[in-house]
Structure 1
Amino acid sequence: MKKITLLLALALASLTTVAQEAGKIGPRSSSDYAGGSGGHDSRNTGFGVKGGFNLADVYGDNKKNYTNGENYKAFHAGVYGQYGFSDKFSVQPELLYSRQGFKGTSTYTNPGGTTTATVKERRLDYVQVPVLLVFNVLDNVSIHAGPQFSLLTKVTEDGKERKIANENNSYGYSYSSIDYGIAAGAEARVGPARVGARYTAGFADVIKDQQSLASTGNKALDNIKNSLFQVYVGVGFAR
C-alpha cells in the first residue's frame, strides 16, 4: 500500500507538471478540444479510447498468509463516454478490459487430503465498468471518483487456467466472479489527448468458499481484496 501511495503521489505531481506546461503554451478553453463549438459540451461531452499500465496487488487480513508477495504488472484498455451537465461537472462511464492479479506463494491441500498444490502467481482478467463523477479543477485538469463493478472472466494459476467456480469441491476454494469497489484519480488533457492516474480498491473477497481448514491444516487465504493502481493515456472525441 505504501508503494501504491508513493506512485499515486508521483503520478499526480506529473499531472501538475503537464498542466503547467500546457499553460505555458496558452490557456486551453473548451473550444480547443475536438469538435469544440464552445460551451461545456465540447469539453465534457463525448467519447474516447484509453489504455495503460496496471500495478495490481491485494490487501486484507489474510494477505500475511501469502509469502514472497509482490505487485503484479499488466495492462488495461477500453472505451469511455462522457456527459457534461455543467462547465465543471460531468459523469463518465467506462468499459475496460483489465488484466490484474497478485503474486504470493500459498500451499493448499484439497478437502479430501489427497492433493497438495502450491501456487505462486494468480492472474485475474476482469471486464470493468467504472461510473465516475468528474470535476474540472482547471480547464485541462480534472479529478474523478465513483463506484466500479467488475466481472471476472478468466483465472490463471502459475500459467494454468482453472475454473472460476469451485465445481465438485475439487480445488477446496473458488473465486468471486463479481467484484465491486471505488475508484478515484486525476487526469490532465491537452487538446483531445489525456493522461491520468487512478487507484481502485475492491470490496469483495477475491477468493471465497475455502474449505476444510481444520482437517488439512491449511491457512486462511480468502480474506483478500483487489488493490489496483492504473496509469493511462487516451484520446477523446467531443460530440
Structure 2
Amino acid sequence: MKKIIILALGLFAATAANAQDIRFGVKAGLNLSNIIKDNGNNNFSTKVNPGFNAGVTVDIPLVAGIAFTPELLFASKGYKATTALGEFTQTSYFVDVPILASIKVAGSGLNIVVGPQVSFLTSTKNKFDNGFGTTQSQYNEDSDRFKKSLLGGVIGLRYDINNKFDIHGRYALDFQKNNEDGTSQTPKFKNQVFSVGVGVKF
C-alpha cells in the first residue's frame, strides 16, 4: 500500500508540473459513515459511526467551468451495531484518493463534484461493549480479513465562498464489498459516507 500512496503522490506532482493556473489546498471535515449490508448472516441493525476526513487537494482548470480536482485524504469510516448482547463499533481508517471533476454552475459559486475514488485500508478497530465491560481488537493492513483496496464513487456539492474558502458536502459509496466471505464476526458490506467540511486554497 505504501508504494500505491507514493504513486498517488507522484501523480499529483506530475499532473501539477504539467498544468497551468493550478491551486493547491487543504480540507477537513466530518464523516457520517454507515454500511450497506449484503445478503447473508446480517440480521442486525446498524447506525452511524461519526468520524473525520482531512487531506490535500489540487484544483486544475481544464476548460471554462470545469476543473480536475484530485484529492489525497486520510479518513475514518465504519458503523455501530446494536445486538442482543451489547453494542458493537467498527472503525476503519483509509487513505482515500478521489479523482474528481468539478463542474461550476454558471453565475454562482456552486460546483458539482463527481468521480471515482480508490480507498486503501490502513487499519480496523473493533470495540464491543456489553454494559459490564469493553473488549477491543485491532487489525492492520497486513490482515487478510478485509480487502486492502476498494473502488468507489463520489458525488456532491461545493460552494466557493470566495477564491480561497469553500464549504462542501458529498456522498461516497464503495462499489466493492469489504470481503468476499462474510461471517457473523466479519459480515459482508459496502461502506457509505455522508461528509461535510471546509476547504482552503492557496
Moved over 6 A (4+): none
Match of 1:206 among 175, 178, 190: 178
Contact 1:66 1:104 in 2 (8 A): no
Query: 2:191 corresponds to which letter in structure 1?
Result: N
Match of 2:153 among 165, 176, 182: 182
Partner of 2:113: 144
Are residue 229 (structure 1) and residue 194 (structure 2) matched? Answer: yes
Are residue 97 (structure 1) and residue 65 (structure 2) matched? Answer: no
Greater gyration radius:
1
TM-score normalised to structure 1 length: 0.65
Normalized per residue, which structure has more strand?
2
Q: 1:77 to 1:55 in 2, by over 3 A?
A: same
Structure 2 portions without partners, runs of 5+ = 1-19, 128-135
**Pairwise CA distance, 1:223:** 3.1
Contact 1:65 1:220 in 2 (8 A): no
Partner of 1:157: 126
Distance 2:152 2:63 in 1: 27
Contact 1:96 1:129 in 2 (8 A): yes
For residues 32-51 of structure 1, the aligned pairs below 5 Å read: 45-51=22-28
Partner of 2:8: none
Structure 1 portions without partners, runs of 5+ = 1-40, 108-116, 168-173, 211-217
| Residue deviations 1:153-182 (CA, integer Å, cap 9, x gap) | 011010431245556xxxxxx111111111
Identity of aligned residues (%): 27
Mean Cα displacement is larger for which, 117-126 or 225-234? Answer: 117-126
Contact 1:56 1:227 in 2 (8 A): yes
**Pairwise CA distance, 1:52:** 0.4
Distance 2:198 2:40 in 1: 31
Distance 2:33 2:64 in 1: 34
Partner of 1:125: 93
Normalized per residue, which structure has more helix?
1
**Pairwise CA distance, 1:118:** 8.4
Query: 1:70 corresponds to which letter in structure 2?
Result: K
Q: 1:219 to 1:50 in 2, by over 3 A?
A: closer
CA RMSD of aligned residues (A): 2.6
Query: 1:232 corresponds to which letter in structure 2?
Result: G
Distance 1:71 1:178 in 2: 22
Distance 1:102 1:52 in 2: 18
Distance 1:87 1:104 in 2: 46
Q: What secondary structure, in the 3-state scheme, does the structure 2 residue paired with 1:65 have?
A: coil
Are residue 74 (structure 1) and residue 51 (structure 2) matched? Answer: yes
| Residue deviations 1:182-228 (CA, integer Å, cap 9, x gap) | 10000101221000000001011123334xxxxxxx65954310111
Q: 1:194 to 1:64 in 2, by over 3 A?
A: farther
Mean Cα displacement is larger for which, 61-70 or 49-58? Answer: 61-70
TM-score normalised to structure 2 length: 0.76
Contact 2:42 2:187 in 1 (8 A): no
